[in-house]
Amino acid sequence: MKTTTQLTSIALLTALSCSVASAALVTFDGNGLSGIQDYTVATNWDIEGVPTIADDATVTGRFQLGDGTDRSLNSLTVNGGGSFMGSAGTKLNIATDFTLNSNLAINNATGIEWGGQATIGDGIGNDTLSLIYGTHRDPSVVIGKDLGVAANGKILLRWFTAGDEDSTVPEIDLSGALDFAAGSIFEVNLEGGSAGNALTEGTYFLIGSTNITGSATLSLIDFEADQANSFLSIVDTGGAATQGLYLTVIPEPGTYALLAGCFALASVMIRRRR
């Protein structure tokens, strides 16, 4: 009887330990209200309360995060449309996976970081990760491990300027792999930018990764560029911090145009050199 009691106690303790270790499932529903709602308001979440590093969060509404404070989650799935991060100093830290099945815009000096797999697009709608007024910063605006862009997924860099860009710090910095599914889109859009801000001649570091595969459509909007000769390319620097995906702009002064092209990276894999 004593042995049975000890075994039962151990089993209960084990179950309790597993329960404590499991992440809680929480949903941002905006408290049932229409329009964009504040991420930091407890009643906008179900279970009520702003999530923490122990929580797996799903967004079904539209959230705005911009209180200048870093926030942490275990994982994040965004299903609601038009969410927005918009205040300097705010960063969303995701310990494991980040899934974007809708639209999320990251503005100014805000940022997002994940430790597992990130996926943009679910194959149904047009799902977009947007970096608005994006400029290269150190560290980068977006930092993660692996990133996959699905057939309906898009990465959009909106209105960045030649003066803010360089070839040493990427907009998105990955420690793992980058994969573009056929039908995915990479767009750099200067529409609405002030006079003189258009990217002209230069090479710009977009995504840092030593393992890039797949294919995507390139769209350049409102560029002073040679439509036929500007291009995306993979630059292999032997596993250095400057290895990854670059945009090279060939100038065509006085001409603002839409360039839609396609870059093929099929069966290409750049592995880190040790």
Average pLDDT of the residues in 24-49: 94
pLDDT given for residue 168 in this prediction: 75
pLDDT digits (tens, 9 = 90+) for 151-189: 999 999 876 554 555 567 788 999 999 999 999 999 887
Average pLDDT, the chain: 77
* In-domain check, residue 271: no
Residue 83 lies in domain: 24-265
- What is the C-alpha to C-alpha distance for residues 251 and 224, in angstroms, rounded to an integer? 6
* In-domain check, residue 85: yes
For residue 129, which phi and psi values (nearest 5 degrees)? Answer: -100, 115
* In-domain check, residue 13: no
- Percent of the chain whose predicted confidence (pLDDT) is above 70: 69
* In-domain check, residue 69: yes
* In-domain check, residue 87: yes
Statement: residue 259 has pLDDT above 80: no
Question: For residue 48, how many other CB atoms are within 10 A of its CB?
Answer: 11
pLDDT digits (tens, 9 = 90+) for 126-149: 899 998 765 545 567 789 999 999
| Alpha-helix runs per DSSP H in the chain | 2-21
Question: For residue 70, how many other CB atoms are within 10 A of its CB?
Answer: 12
pTM: 0.79
* In-domain check, residue 6: no
Average pLDDT of the residues in 245-270: 48
* In-domain check, residue 19: no
- Close Cβ partners of 48 (under 8 Å, ≥ 6 residues apart): 42
Least confident of 18-32, 71-85, 204-218: 18-32
* In-domain check, residue 12: no
User: Considering its fold, how many domains does the chain have in total?
Assistant: 1
Q: What is the CA radius of gyration of the chain?
A: 21
Statement: residue 15 has pLDDT above 50: no
pLDDT given for residue 42 in this prediction: 96
Please say whether the beta carbons of 103 and 128 come within 8 A. yes
3-state secondary structure at position 35: coil
- What is the C-alpha to C-alpha distance for residues 153 and 59, in angstroms, rounded to an integer? 18
